[in-house]
Structure 1
Amino acid sequence: MPTARKRARTYDPVKIRKAVQAQLGNVREAVRTLTPEQLALPTRLGEWTVRELVAHIGMAVTAVHRGLDRPAPARQDATVLDWPFATAASSAAIAEFTRGLAERHPDLDAYLGDIDRTLAELLDAHPGTRLLETNAGAMPLADYLVTRTVELVVHTDDLNAAVPGLDIPHDRQALAACTRLLADALAAKAPGGSTEVRIPPYAVVQCVEGPKHTRGTPPNVVETDPLTWIRLATGRLGWKDALDAAKVSASGERADLDGLLPLMG
């Protein structure tokens, strides 16, 4: 499992806060429309129903609450790029906690509304420099909020996949931050300059060991759209399936990312 040593991309904390709150709002508006039958539908996340998936989205946001409720760590020992590689280790505990949340909160709109309100209060009360203990290590609140865009965007896509016609929109800033963080995670996992991965309009990264490209058209290029990239990076879509469906283009002998994906479990 890689540890990110490369200097992390910087994010505008004001835009990230707005993105998190906007995407949470998009989810809440959609959840209000769901019928009991739709809430009972299966999802692509193992045994979780739509109801449990919504409960998990709330849990992902309230990780901020839980972090701020604990004493601040003495020093930072993780960056935002460490987070994607730390998610798989706690998956069993997350699943159990999620099922309990779904049982305790039958009114999901009220549940998400309370989270939205208390999140705003906490972000008003704490500076972005405040350190949190996270599953990846101690990092600033502002950095941890970037990881919440990944949780919200990925699980919004899971909801849309589970409920036909739901079509919850993705906030542009949330989608951009999610795409960039997962692209940078690929570059951290496979450092190098032989392959260029393009995810317009949000990210371009160099990765994979080999001859470094300096000018002209790169010899190894991968290109796809943001949602396809996010699905590849999180294991919702396989590399070969994406190629077969023409969801991704890959040219050059070092453009095969199959062995590097997914990045998150």
Structure 2
Amino acid sequence: MARAFDEECTAWVRATATLTAHQFTLPTPCPPWTVAELIAHVTAAIARVPDGLAAPPPARANLDAAGYYHPRIFDATANAARVSAAQDAAAAHPNTAALVAAFDHQRRRALRAIAGQPPERLLVTRWGDGMTLREFLLTRVVELALHGLDLANALSAPAWTTPAAAAAVTDFLGAGTAATRLGWDRTTTLAKASGRAPLTADEQSELARARIPWHQFG
């Protein structure tokens, strides 16, 4: 999972390094966020890796990656806090280069923090739950890959999802078999299975057969 995290972060740096000031103001499929605010949101998500590892580990893990996306992460209070935090973080940077540099800084912090750590190392999430590093990194890969699709959509650019991240998130969504049956490529699989693209009636039936919930992740 560390490799998928590293490669997807690196892809984000490459994709955002040459954006213009105008592109940072474009709306995204995650309203009310602009491109700049979505980047700030994902930057904060990456920062939680080193921050979580810096704290004393909990006594046990009581949550996996799927459980991390529990209802309170999407409730009205949590969503309002998430939206305003990203807006404030984006506004705090003097220019777009500084915002991209902040993402890269947190990427480097995270990679230093996980270097040499066993996958079963425990950490505490922002919600106070105990998770293994492997499972928490999976949630970060989910954030990077799916919000990467959102960012590419906002920029009218090709998706840059890396093979390792796409495989990890496809497995997380339980969409591999359905994708094979439906002939989806990896970008279509992530977009359809995460609720980022509409489904045909046949696709809905196939996902229902595979017991894949159709809702927004990331």
TM class, shorter-length:
0.7 to 0.9
Is the CA contact (8 Å cut-off) linking 1:20 and 1:145 kept in structure 2? yes
| Residue among 173, 194, 200 paired with 1:234 | 194
Instruction: For residues 144-190 of structure 1, give each alpha carbon's deviation from its aligned partner in whole angstroms, at most 9, with x where no partner exists.
Output: 111111111101101110012x3242110101001111118xxxxxx
**1:243 — aligned with what?**
200
- The change in CA–CA distance for 1:71 and 1:92 in structure 2 (over 3 A counts) is farther
2:179 aligned residue (193, 199, 202): 199
Written as runs of structure 1 = structure 2, the 5 A alignment for 1:18-167 is: 18-86=3-71, 87-89=73-75, 90-105=78-93, 106=95, 107-124=98-115, 126-134=117-125, 135=127, 137-164=129-156, 166-167=157-158
Matched, 1:17 2:28: no
- The whole-number CA distance in structure 1 between the counterparts of 2:210 and 2:113 is 43
Give the fraction of aligned pairs with identical amino acids, expressed as a percent. 28
1:139 alignment partner, SS class: strand
Native 8 Å contact 2:195 2:215 kept in 1: yes
Q: Is the 8 A contact 1:222 1:250 kept in 2?
A: no
Alignment pair present for 1:262 and 2:187: no
Give the aligned CA root-mean-square deviation in angstroms. 2.9
Confirm or deny: 8 A CA contact 1:61 1:148 kept in the other structure. yes
Does 72-81 or 146-155 show the bigger shift?
Answer: 72-81
Question: Which contiguous aligned blocks of 4+ residues in structure 1 show a shift greater than 6 angstroms?
Answer: none
Per-residue deviation, 1:125: 5.3
Distance 1:251 1:45, change over 3 A: closer
CA distance, structure 1, for counterparts of residue 193 and residue 178 of structure 2: 14
What displacement does 1:256 show? 9.4
Alpha-carbon contact 1:67-1:132 (below 8 Å) kept: yes
Unmatched runs of 5 consecutive residues or more in structure 2: none
Residues 77 and 137, structure 1, Cα contact 8 Å, conserved in 2:
yes
Contact 2:25-2:36 within 8 A present in 1 as well: yes
Write the distance in 2 (CA, Å) between the matches of 1:109 and 1:263: 25
Q: Which has the higher strand share?
A: 1
How far is 1:93 from its partner? Answer: 1.9
Partners of 2:88 and 2:123 lie apart in 1 by 24
CA-CA distance at 1:257 after TM superposition: 6.9
Q: What residue identity is the alignment partner of 1:236?
A: R
- So what's the TM-score if we normalise by structure 1? 0.70
Question: 1:198 & 1:170 partners in 2: Cα distance?
Answer: 19
Q: Please give the secondary structure, in 2, of the residue aligned with 1:43.
A: coil
SS of 2:50's equivalent?
Answer: helix
Which structure: greater helix fraction? 2
Confirm or deny: 8 A CA contact 1:154 1:230 kept in the other structure.
Answer: yes
Q: Secondary structure at the match of 2:215?
A: coil
Partners of 2:166 and 2:190 within 8 A in 1: no
Give the total of aligned pairs: 211
1:100 CA displacement:
1.6
CA distance in 2, matches of 1:263, 1:53: 15
Partner SS for 1:63: helix
Which amino acid letter does the alignment assign opposite residue 92 of structure 1? A
Q: Which amino acid aligns with 1:162?
A: A
Give a deviation string over 1:47-84, Cα, whole Å, max 9, x none: 10001111112111112122123221111111222123
Whether the aligned pair in 2 keeps the contact of 1:23 and 1:171 (CA below 8 Å) is yes
Normalised by the length of structure 2, the TM-score is: 0.83
